């Protein structure tokens, strides 16, 4: 690997210390007049990944960068402690050592950003990741639909933090967005933030269920006002999950919020991102819209599982010139 790509990989390996967003008072005048031009958003999104060509060593470096930003996730009904333990081992050693040695980056101790599981498997993941520096993220608040009473949602958040989750991925009540009850949405997310304590709060908007891009932008603003550390597209369970148009709207809301408050909010696309090329497109989006400072695990994550296997496969192809079978790169 050439020197420049190596520098890129090293620059994003560490988790930068980001001053946490404290939130702000509810101010509907800051977002109430937002109207998103869908055609303009879609035209801009269509140019992402077409205006620059990333190849060879630089492509490998970008894929390693993407790998360090993955929340390696298992959220299935048949999850078991054994499956989660295997996932955690993959998070600690996401790429075969011979591939890392061939790329010249074996000493960088590259890992995924986090492991994301259901509440019942938090303790299993915490034990398996002990000493690795990899945090455990947990989905909460009645994930994925969020159709349980607020007191139960808050209790679930507190219990997840108590057993070791360092990051909490909550789902917002979509009905509050669809009915325009922004104050109630603010109060709900504010309560989640307080329940999280020192754990970081990622708010899942379920963008595919919010009807309009304007609603996506407004919901992003309300969650950030309420103290969210990250805003996230999807649960991965909706019919439409992460897309570049949704992402463009959300990262521009992040940019505007940062310009107003000086606080940096993280972004997490999730659901349906399984190919290396898609991952690079999202990295390009972040670089062009928010700058290199957002290309770290502290401010950017992928919610994914199969993406890691495809990245490892592409890295092997970079070294050997041949594609191996997908089953040779299992995630867990």
DSSP secondary structure string for all residues of 149-213: -HHHHHHHHHHHHHTT-SEEEEE--HHHHHTT-HHHHHHHHHHHHHHHTTSEEEEE--GGGSSSH
Q: Is 218 one of the catalytic residues? A: no
Among 65, 264, 268, 310, the active-site one is 268
Element (H, E) at 279: helix 276-289
Domain residue ranges of the chain, discontinuous segments joined by +: 3-13+24-321
Give the pLDDT band of residue 7 (cuts 50, 70, 90).
low
Phi, psi of 73 (to 5 degrees): -125, 140
In this predicted structure, what is the pLDDT of residue 314?
A: 94
In this predicted structure, what is the pLDDT of residue 3?
A: 46
Residue 332 CA to residue 304 CA, distance in Å, equals 13
Residue 145 CA to residue 132 CA, distance in Å, equals 32
What are the pLDDT digits (tens) for 104-126? 999 999 999 999 999 999 999 99
Residue 94 CA to residue 97 CA, distance in Å, equals 9
What are the pLDDT digits (tens) for 247-299? 999 999 999 999 999 999 999 999 999 999 999 999 999 999 999 999 999 99
Among 65, 90, 232, 264, the active-site one is 232
Among 57, 71, 169, 310, the active-site one is 169
Q: Is 232 one of the catalytic residues? A: yes
CATH match for 3-13+24-321 among 3.40.30.10, 3.20.20.70, 3.90.1310.10, 3.40.50.2300: 3.20.20.70
Q: Is 268 one of the catalytic residues? A: yes
Of 98, 3, 74, 79, nearest to 318 (Cα)?
98
């Amino acid at each position: 690997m050439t020197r420049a790509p190596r520098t890129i990989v090293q620059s994003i390996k560490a988790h930068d210390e980001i001053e946490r967003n404290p939130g702000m008072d509810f101010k509907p005048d800051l977002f109430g007049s937002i109207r998103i031009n869908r055609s303009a958003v879609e035209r801009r999104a269509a140019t992402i990944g077409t205006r620059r060509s990333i190849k060879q060593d630089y492509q490998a470096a970008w894929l390693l960068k993407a790998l360090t930003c993955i929340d390696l996730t298992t959220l299935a009904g048949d999850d078991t402690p054994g499956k989660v333990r295997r996932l955690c081992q993959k998070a600690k050693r996401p790429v075969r050592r011979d591939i890392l040695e061939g790329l010249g980056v074996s000493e960088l101790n590259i890992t995924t950003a986090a492991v994301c599981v259901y509440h019942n498997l938090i303790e299993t993941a915490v034990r398996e990741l002990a000493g690795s520096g990899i945090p455990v993220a947990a989905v909460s608040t009645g994930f994925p639909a969020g159709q349980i009473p607020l007191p139960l949602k808050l209790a679930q958040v507190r219990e997840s933090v108590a057993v070791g989750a360092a990051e909490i991925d909550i789902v917002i009540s979509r009905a509050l967005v669809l009915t325009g009850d922004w104050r109630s949405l603010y109060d709900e997310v504010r309560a989640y933030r307080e329940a999280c304590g020192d754990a970081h709060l990622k708010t899942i908007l379920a963008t595919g269920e919010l009807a309009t891009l304007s609603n996506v932008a407004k919901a992003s603003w309300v969650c950030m006002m309420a103290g969210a550390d990250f805003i996230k597209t999807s649960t991965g369970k909706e019919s439409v999950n992460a897309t570049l148009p949704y992402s463009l709207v959300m990262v521009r809301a992040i940019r505007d919020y940062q310009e107003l408050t000086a606080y940096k909010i993280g972004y997490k696309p999730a659901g349906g991102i399984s190919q290396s090329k898609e991952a690079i497109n999202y990295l390009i989006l972040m670089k062009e819209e928010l700058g290199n400072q957002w290309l770290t695990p502290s401010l950017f994550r992928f919610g994914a599982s199969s993406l890691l296997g495809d990245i490892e496969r592409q890295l092997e192809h970079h070294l050997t010139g041949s594609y191996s079978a997908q089953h040779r790169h299992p995630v867990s």
